[in-house]
């Protein structure tokens, strides 16, 4: 199927996509004027606007068959209210209760009307490709469709190649994590692409060597991981130096592994890490435990590195940001510390190491916050390594403007770690809220619904 889902600026149409063009169009969007327009014109514009977003990959006749004028809705009930009376008070007197309802109360009730017509396109949310997009596994519905067609999606553990498959409540769908990382990650820049090319060429030249090295690296990683897990389970009092040492060794192995394929900047960064780790090792002899609990917070290694680099260049502007982010990390780390004691101890140890005035300032001017950040960054290097063979920029970071579209509707339960989601139920409307993510206002939704009622 040819992709007609373009996002032009001159003839703008909103799409199910995370592109910046779409964002700009979304920002420009206004409700269509109804003055001096016939009812037919209003309905036509509304339906064509809405259909460009909702299931443009579905033929109009196909959608017309899917459309249902019955819209699912629920009313949240309060068990206390149900227990208080059996409903006879409401029907007492002449059928509307003995007491007169004041206008103020009526107004309050009206403000929470159920937005039924915003749910016009709810049947399309059942489609597999749309559900994948809604679960944030793909950057557009078209990409989600491609994933399905290319066989990267399973439903209930079986490969499903039909993007038009209508999910049933309880269906579990899963996309290959690598595809999701590619779809949602920032793209490579040209240097990274070149690195990949060079690495591939080198790999083809000396396959045997590369294989051996990889095996070694993988083995090292595995042993390290098992070590960390074992540590968590077995004893708390084990030396944190071991863990840091293994991390250091890993950094070294990365350095040694793809020496030629790395840019000079990356190498410098890695060397900085190694030095810093050495320094921590020399200081944190008294600290107790190092566990996984701390590694859960920060997402992007590169973001931090960038912040650090800019700080070195122009001190003031980015320093504040760095401080803020550091404050956030300390908050979050304290939150995790309340759960697990060792995390707290470790942070304390780090603070002690940093507060020590004997510190040498020769390697790089690192504050205590930065030590913390460094530690996280090192741990994340294991999760999120620099790997030129990946189709996305490594270490992984979210693509630009992704956060403006980041939402997960309630009818899905998503586990991002394994890129799997369960379609819990069909989307429903409830007083004041609809569950179908649509960028259009009430007027468009209502007119589009009226169009498909077929009474033109």
Q: Which string of DSSP letters, residue by residue, matches 210-270?
A: HHHHHHHHHHHHHHHHHHHHHHHHS-S-S-HHHHHHHHHHHHHHHHHHTSTTS-HHHHHHH
- Residue closer to other proteins (CB basis): 288 or 340: 340
Tokens 């293994």 correspond to what residue? 246
- Residue closer to other proteins (CB basis): 275 or 300: 300
Exposure string over 419-443, b if 16+ CB within 10 A, otherwise e: bbbbbeebbbbeeeebbbbbbbeee
Q: How far is the CB of 357 from other proteins (least distance, A)?
A: 32
Q: How far is the CB of 155 from other proteins (least distance, A)?
A: 5
- Residue closer to other proteins (CB basis): 134 or 266: 134
d(C-alpha 138, C-alpha 132), whole Å:
7
Q: How far is the CB of 404 from other proteins (least distance, A)?
A: 4
Q: Listing from the earlier edge strand, what are the strands of the sheet with 171-175? A: 158-159, 153-155, 171-175, 420-423, 412-415
- Residue closer to other proteins (CB basis): 176 or 242: 176
- Residue closer to other proteins (CB basis): 75 or 361: 75
Q: How far is the CB of 85 from other proteins (least distance, A)?
A: 8
- Residue closer to other proteins (CB basis): 165 or 280: 165
d(C-alpha 300, C-alpha 376), whole Å:
10
> What angle do the packed helices 368-383 and 341-355 form, to 10 degrees?
130
Cβ atoms 213, 183 nearer than 8 A: no
Q: How far is the CB of 260 from other proteins (least distance, A)?
A: 26
- Residue closer to other proteins (CB basis): 153 or 374: 153
Cβ atoms 69, 31 nearer than 8 A: no
Q: How far is the CB of 317 from other proteins (least distance, A)?
A: 14
Q: How far is the CB of 136 from other proteins (least distance, A)?
A: 6
Query: Is the previous residue joined to 53 through a cis bond, with omega within 30 degrees of 0?
Result: no
Q: How far is the CB of 128 from other proteins (least distance, A)?
A: 9
Q: What are phi and psi of 413, to 5 degrees?
A: -115, 115
Q: How far is the CB of 425 from other proteins (least distance, A)?
A: 6
Tokens 């970071």 correspond to what residue? 397
C-alpha distances in angstroms, 155 versus 100, 145, 151, 166?
54, 14, 11, 11
Q: Is the dihedral of CA 153, 156, 162, 168 positive or negative?
A: negative
d(C-alpha 434, C-alpha 97), whole Å:
30
- Residue closer to other proteins (CB basis): 179 or 283: 179
- Residue closer to other proteins (CB basis): 166 or 203: 166
Which residues are CB-neighbours of 391 under 8 A, at least 6 positions away? 182, 188
């Amino acid at each position: 199927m040819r992709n007609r889902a373009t996002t032009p600026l001159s003839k703008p149409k909103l799409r199910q996509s995370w592109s910046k063009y779409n964002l700009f169009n979304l920002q420009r969007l206004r409700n269509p004027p109804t003055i001096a327009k016939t009812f037919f014109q209003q309905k036509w514009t509304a339906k064509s606007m809405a259909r460009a977003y909702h299931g443009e990959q579905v033929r109009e006749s196909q959608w017309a068959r899917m459309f249902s004028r019955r819209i699912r809705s629920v009313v949240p009930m309060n068990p206390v209210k149900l227990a208080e009376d059996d409903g006879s008070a409401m029907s007492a007197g002449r059928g509307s209760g003995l007491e007169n309802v004041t206008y103020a109360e009526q107004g309050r009730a009206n403000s929470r009307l159920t937005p039924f017509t915003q749910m016009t396109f709810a049947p399309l949310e059942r489609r597999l490709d749309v559900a994948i997009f809604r679960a944030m596994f793909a950057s557009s519905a078209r990409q989600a469709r491609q994933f399905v067609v290319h066989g990267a999606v399973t439903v209930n553990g079986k490969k499903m190649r039909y993007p038009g498959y209508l999910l049933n409540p309880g269906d579990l769908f899963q996309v290959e994590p690598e595809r999701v990382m590619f779809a949602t990650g920032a793209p490579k820049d040209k240097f990274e692409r070149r690195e990949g090319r060079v690495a591939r060429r080198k790999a083809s030249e000396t396959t045997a060597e590369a294989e051996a090295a990889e095996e070694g690296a993988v083995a090292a990683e595995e042993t390290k991981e098992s070590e960390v897990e074992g540590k968590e389970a077995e004893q708390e009092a084990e030396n944190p130096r071991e863990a840091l040492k293994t991390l250091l060794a890993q950094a070294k192995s990365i350095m040694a592994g793809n020496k030629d394929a790395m840019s000079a900047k990356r190498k410098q960064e890695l060397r900085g890490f190694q030095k810093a780790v050495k320094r921590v090792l020399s200081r944190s002899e008294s600290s107790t435990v190092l566990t996984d609990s701390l590694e859960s917070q920060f997402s992007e290694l590169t973001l931090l590195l960038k912040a650090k680099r800019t700080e070195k260049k122009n001190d003031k502007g980015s320093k504040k940001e760095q401080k803020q982010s550091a404050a956030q990390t300390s908050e979050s780390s304290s939150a995790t510390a309340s759960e697990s004691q060792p995390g707290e101890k470790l942070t304390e140890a780090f603070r002690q190491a940093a507060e020590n005035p004997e510190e040498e300032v020769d390697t790089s001017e690192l504050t205590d916050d930065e030590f913390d950040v460094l530690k996280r960054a090192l741990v994340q290097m294991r999760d999120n390594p620099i790997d030129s063979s990946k189709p996305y920029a490594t270490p992984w970071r979210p693509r630009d403007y992704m956060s403006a579209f980041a939402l997960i509707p309630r009818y899905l339960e998503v586990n991002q770690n394994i890129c799997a989601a369960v379609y819990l139920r069909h989307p429903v409307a409830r007083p004041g809220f609809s569950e179908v993510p649509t960028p259009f206002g009430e007027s468009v939704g209502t007119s589009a619904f009226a169009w498909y009622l077929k009474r033109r």
